[in-house]
Amino acid sequence: MKKTFTKLALAGLMTTTIAGGAFAQEDTIKVGILHSLSGTMAISETTLKDAMLMLIEEQNKKGGLLGKKLEAVVVDPASDWPLFAEKARELIEVNGVDAVFGCWTSVSRKSVLPVFEELNSLLFYPVQYEGEESQRNVFYTGAAPNQQAIPAVDYLMNEEGVERWVLAGTDYVYPRTTNKILEAYLKSKGVAEEDIMINYTPFGHSDWQTIVSDIKTFGSAGKKTAVVSTINGDANVPFYKELGNAGIKAEDIPVVAFSVGEEELAGLDTAPLVGHLAAWNYFQSADTDANAEFIDAWHAYIGDDNRVTNDPMEAHYIGFNMWVEAVEKAGTTDPDAVIDAIVGVSVPNLTGGYSAMMPNHHITKPVLIGEIQDDGQFETVWETSGLVVGDAWSDYLEGSMDLISDWRAPLSCGNFNTKTGKCGGSGS
Amino acid sequence: MGGTKKFKRLIPRDAAERLLGMRRLTFIRNAGGPMSFSRSLLLFLFLAMGLTAPALAQSDPEALRPLINELAKGKYDDTQKQIGALVATGDPAVAPALEALGDGDLYFRKSDGMVFIASKAGKGYALTDPLTLESAGEAGRRDVKKIKVNNKLRRVLRSALGSLTLMAPDPAVRKQAAEAVFKSRDPDSIEALDAALAAETDDSVRTVMEQARAAAVLNSDLGDEDKLAAVEVLASMGTRQAMSLLLSVQSSLEGPVRDATAAAVTKIEKSIAAWDAAQNIWYGLSLGSVLLLAAIGLAITFGVMGVINMAHGEMVMIGAYVTFVVQEMIRTSMPGLFDYSLFIALPLAFLVSGAIGVAIERGVIRWLYGRPLETLLATWGISLILQQAVRSLFGPTNREVGNPDWMSGAFEVGQMTITYNRMWIIVFAMLVFAGLMLVLKKTPFGLYTRAVTQNRRMAASMGIRTPWVDALTFGLGSGIAGIAGVALSQIDNVSPNLGQGYIIDSFMVVVFGGVGNLWGTLVGAMTLGVVNKFLEPYAGAVLGKILVLVFIILFIQKRPRGLFALKGRAVEA
């Protein structure tokens, strides 16, 4: 709010939103929403924008925050990674928001990191990601690999007796890092090199015939085989269609996916896919009162009873409530005060427990394994007995296993190397 | 599985009664919707069980009820034990409950723990008694809870129902049962298989049963002689499934049986390798036909008219959305027509995309003829506008376009798996190609088009209204893109981004095949498809795509006009 007219004019050149927000309006607290509303990622991110607007509206109904109304500022970074940085800057400098909820892909997050660091603002990132990062200004409310990938592999290994693994992913940073962690993990569990097949495909890959037949071949070596899929968004629909048509049943070769949620299944006839798995921290089918309330509120807000809820929406729900609580605790929206206050804040999640913000800016979550049902929903078939603490630095990767993250004073470091005793180890 | 040994016994006295009961059941379950056919098939087979299996207990529902209600208690392991207990009663009256359990339709009432078969009705569920199969009223959404099944339980149910239905009257069901036993490899079912084999009259079913028996024998502790015979049966199967089975038992075998297994595996591997090559060509043709469909409209607008149309992909996308709208309307008003939805969508998609094409030509492109750069930018802008328009209209998320029955599933040719949707798309692509050729070569409109593209001035002086021919040709290209969208909706996402995935590939095909030549587009698409599929297993999907691109760039350096270059004065002009 202290930004001058010159800066306003400069930034106003490239802004598409109303820049009038920059005029000091002390009676509202502004919350930025940085999700793509056009371009390839609009398919996933538009829903999150709506979820945030709903949460803000509900908070205002409860009387706002610190006696002020919350005001949402929505920008559209259009699935364009550099534009994310520009729009983040616009939100913070021009619109003067106090916290930003946004980003989906890792590359968009990486693109905005320097902006949040430089301008010292807050970002709540709601999507499961590859880990290997912990930044002072960012709160990771989605799952780290140890809150999704590792438990899923454990489940298949212990419950389904899987001995052979196909790691299939889209060719970008999240699948590559996750698969690297999984490969190291599987090997540490005694899985032989020849029992792991790793396969990458381009974004939006639509011809899965060869890969599905490769999986079939790989699965006919006499050992129980499973596919661990980090295939991204849109490419999943043709992949699952091909699986269904090729007659690969979940009873024979189960596929466990980390990027397929209720939203992705909405474009599919799931009858041939019953029994394939997904690992998340939330399913719409979670049978709790908090979840039923959330779903009802969502349906009422969006005006469509068929819209689904999904894991990143829950992450925003948790993240937003944590921010609200931290601001109340600190008595101010000042980023430094909120960063100090938010560690240890614990809010209800939608699966019947509480999630807490940890010193490494990741949160505690339950891990659920769900099987796809013929109505496009998941049914939880297994869950961790307690909450799992998000681990920023994987314990299975060379160069990252010695790192820890703790943003509390006096350590205040995102990558503290326990071996050298210095902040700023390798990895990030 | 305890019940399996008791086949071929008396026909139970209450068979007629049960028949009645089953009819009632079929009727009730039929109300369930599209699944009802396969369900009534299954029920039919339970009826058959009723005739062949023993009636240990007279079907007194109340005696079984406690056992059934037990299903609702405990975790997966407990449910598994309970399934075993139910199968052990050998009473076919438990079958509907087990079947419903596998389908995820078995619920229990929270208030009293009673188990029911439930189907969605309005906001709650309609309950059916799992034993008497009479309607048991309704329950609210939160009053009943589903009995959970996981993959493990589904496997258990599959093999249990499999070995129980080996004597069903319908050969297709017997075959299915034998296949289930093949997968479960349960040594306990050998006896049942022997009994079934003795009674079997259908040769194809007999073969599958023998294979299933071989699989079970290898898993049992029978002597070497039996096992050697079993290995031979599996070796002659020659399928990947057989190889997988042999490999899995290999380590537990000894002596001559082990050697025979190893020899069988090598033999199967060899025959599979040959089939793999054939399979790869098939995949290549299939990818090629998708490329052809996507590119053929562009071959007209870009190839024949020379317009760089970046909005071509969006025409494909609009065609896919027309399919969605048609299916949606059919679903709400005439569900019976669903299998024909694609035929209804085809002409509509052609008209809608074609009309939009004509509008674009009249509104924008005709002002920009001869200025390729401006055309490129303008059509790119149009493509963004169309995408966002569809996004605002239908939402950003994927839309579900269902596959009609004749487009789902697969069949086997030797060791090749051919999926129906891919096969029909190849056929469809060829039909579209032939149709387009006919239009261009045999109709007056085609004649005008060719005349205008070859020599515009002379065509105009002959009295052809060239602007209208331009508009209609552009409309034709766009319309063809629209019907390609109908086909692509069957294998890809229906989302606003659908078209973007195809635009680069389409240009690649047209440029590679030779601008202005439809045959070039056909050969180009098929070549690129097959090359891509042969590279993919070795180079991976990502590198394969890059290599194809590099190959095309090099090829264009050598032959700038593509595979089938047009010759003559028209080209030089």
Give yes or no: residues B375 and B285 share one domain: yes
Give yes or no: residues A94 and A82 share one domain: yes
Model confidence pLDDT, tens digit, residues B91-125: 767 777 887 888 888 888 888 888 888 888 777 88
pLDDT band at B67 (very low <50, low <70, confident <90, very high): confident
Q: Do A199 and B146 touch (CB under 8 A)?
A: no
Give yes or no: residues B287 and B335 share one domain: yes
Please identify among residues 156-175 of chain A the ones whose CB lies closer than 8 Å to any CB of chain B: 159-160, 171
Give yes or no: residues B211 and B280 share one domain: no
| A99 in any annotated domain | yes
Give yes or no: residues A190 and A161 share one domain: yes
- Which residue of chain B comes nearest to A216, CA vs CA? B240
| B185 in any annotated domain | yes
Report the pLDDT value the prediction gives residue B16, as an integer from 0 to 100: 39
Once rounded to an integer, what is the mean pLDDT over residues B145-149? 85
- Which residue of chain B comes nearest to A381, CA vs CA? B150
Contact list, B541 vs chain A (CB under 8 Å): 199-202, 205, 210-211
Q: Do B150 and A251 touch (CB under 8 A)?
A: no
pTM over 0.90: no
| A410 in any annotated domain | no
Report the pLDDT value the prediction gives residue B424, as an integer from 0 to 100: 94
Residue B32 pLDDT greater than 50, yes or no: no
Q: Do B533 and A209 touch (CB under 8 A)?
A: yes
- Which residue of chain A comes nearest to B120, CA vs CA? A375
Q: Which two tokens stand for residue B214?
A: 């071989």
Residue B164 pLDDT greater than 50, yes or no: yes
| B189 in any annotated domain | yes
Give yes or no: residues A233 and A374 share one domain: yes
| A403 in any annotated domain | no
The domain that contains A246 carries what CATH number? 3.40.50.2300
Q: Do A209 and B398 touch (CB under 8 A)?
A: no
Please identify among residues 349-388 of chain A the ones whose CB lies closer than 8 Å to any CB of chain B: 371, 373-374, 379, 381
Model confidence pLDDT, tens digit, residues B351-370: 999 999 999 999 999 899 88
Q: Is the separation of the CB atoms in B26 and B40 below 8 Å?
A: yes
Interface test with A, best of B35, B285, B491, B547 (most A CBs within 10 A): B491
Out of A219, A246, A374, name the one closest to residue B410 (CB): A246
What are A53-56's contacts with CB under 8 Å, separation 24+? A53/A301, A54/A297, A54/A298, A54/A301, A54/A302, A55/A316, A55/A317, A55/A320, A56/A31, A56/A320
Residue A78 pLDDT greater than 70, yes or no: yes
* Last-in-domain residue among A329, A363, A397: A363
Q: Is the separation of the CB atoms in B108 and B69 below 8 Å?
A: yes
| B199 in any annotated domain | yes
Out of A37, A46, A217, name the one closest to residue B240 (CB): A217
Contact list, A222 vs chain B (CB under 8 Å): 244-250
Once rounded to an integer, what is the mean pLDDT over residues A262-288? 88
Report the pLDDT value the prediction gives residue A119, as an integer from 0 to 100: 95
Q: Is the separation of the CB atoms in A204 and A231 below 8 Å?
A: no
Measured CA to CA, the distance from residue A188 to residue A150 in angstroms comes to 12
Into how many domains does chain B fold? 3
ipTM associated with this complex: 0.76
Out of A80-94, B254-268, B344-358, B469-483, which region has the weakest mean confidence (pLDDT)? Answer: B254-268
Q: Hey, which residues does A257 pair with through a beta bridge?
A: A229, A278
Mean of per-residue pLDDT scores for chain A: 88
Q: Hey, which residues does A227 pair with through a beta bridge?
A: A166, A255
Residue B216 pLDDT greater than 70, yes or no: yes
Out of A57-66, B179-188, B441-450, which region has the weakest mean confidence (pLDDT)? Answer: B179-188
Q: For residues B370 and A227, which has the higher predicted lDDT (pLDDT)? A: A227
Mean of per-residue pLDDT scores for chain B: 82
Give yes or no: residues A137 and A261 share one domain: no
Model confidence pLDDT, tens digit, residues B518-550: 899 999 999 999 999 999 888 888 898 899 999
Measured CA to CA, the distance from residue B518 to residue B265 in angstroms comes to 47
Give yes or no: residues B190 and B140 share one domain: no
Once rounded to an integer, what is the mean pLDDT over residues A324-351? 94
Give yes or no: residues A250 and A173 share one domain: yes
Give yes or no: residues A110 and A258 share one domain: no
Give yes or no: residues B192 and B123 share one domain: no
Task: Check CB contact of A238 with chain B, cutoff 8 Å.
Answer: yes
Q: For residues A204 and B494, which has the higher predicted lDDT (pLDDT)? A: B494
Give yes or no: residues A117 and A195 share one domain: no
Once rounded to an integer, what is the mean pLDDT over residues A223-246? 87
| B570 in any annotated domain | no
Q: Do A221 and B545 touch (CB under 8 A)?
A: no
Give yes or no: residues B242 and B313 share one domain: no
- Which residue of chain A comes nearest to B149, CA vs CA? A381
Residue B47 pLDDT greater than 70, yes or no: no
Please identify among residues 494-553 of chain B the ones whose CB lies closer than 8 Å to any CB of chain A: 494-497, 500-501, 533, 536-537, 540-542, 545
Residue B28 pLDDT greater than 50, yes or no: no
Interface test with B, best of A47, A251, A264 (most B CBs within 10 A): A251
Once rounded to an integer, what is the mean pLDDT over residues A177-181? 93
Into how many domains does chain A fold? 2
Measured CA to CA, the distance from residue B366 to residue B360 in angstroms comes to 9
Give yes or no: residues A299 and A279 share one domain: no
Measured CA to CA, the distance from residue B325 to residue B58 in angstroms comes to 53
Residue B398 pLDDT greater than 60, yes or no: yes
- Which residue of chain A comes nearest to B535, CA vs CA? A210
Report the pLDDT value the prediction gives residue B77, as an integer from 0 to 100: 84
Give yes or no: residues A88 and A218 share one domain: no
| A129 in any annotated domain | yes
Residue A299 pLDDT greater than 80, yes or no: yes
Q: Do A266 and B397 touch (CB under 8 A)?
A: yes
Q: Is the dihedral of CA B110, B115, B120, B124 positive or negative?
A: negative
Give yes or no: residues A276 and A156 share one domain: yes
- Which residue of chain A comes nearest to B405, CA vs CA? A245
Residue B345 pLDDT greater than 70, yes or no: yes
Give yes or no: residues A276 and A310 share one domain: no
What domain range is B204 assigned to?
179-253
Task: Check CB contact of B323 with chain A, cutoff 8 Å.
Answer: no
Give yes or no: residues A14 and A134 share one domain: yes
pLDDT band at B90 (very low <50, low <70, confident <90, very high): low
Report the pLDDT value the prediction gives residue A356, as an integer from 0 to 100: 95
What domain range is A9 assigned to?
5-143+288-363
Out of A22-31, A173-182, A415-424, B414-423, which region has the weakest mean confidence (pLDDT)? Answer: A22-31
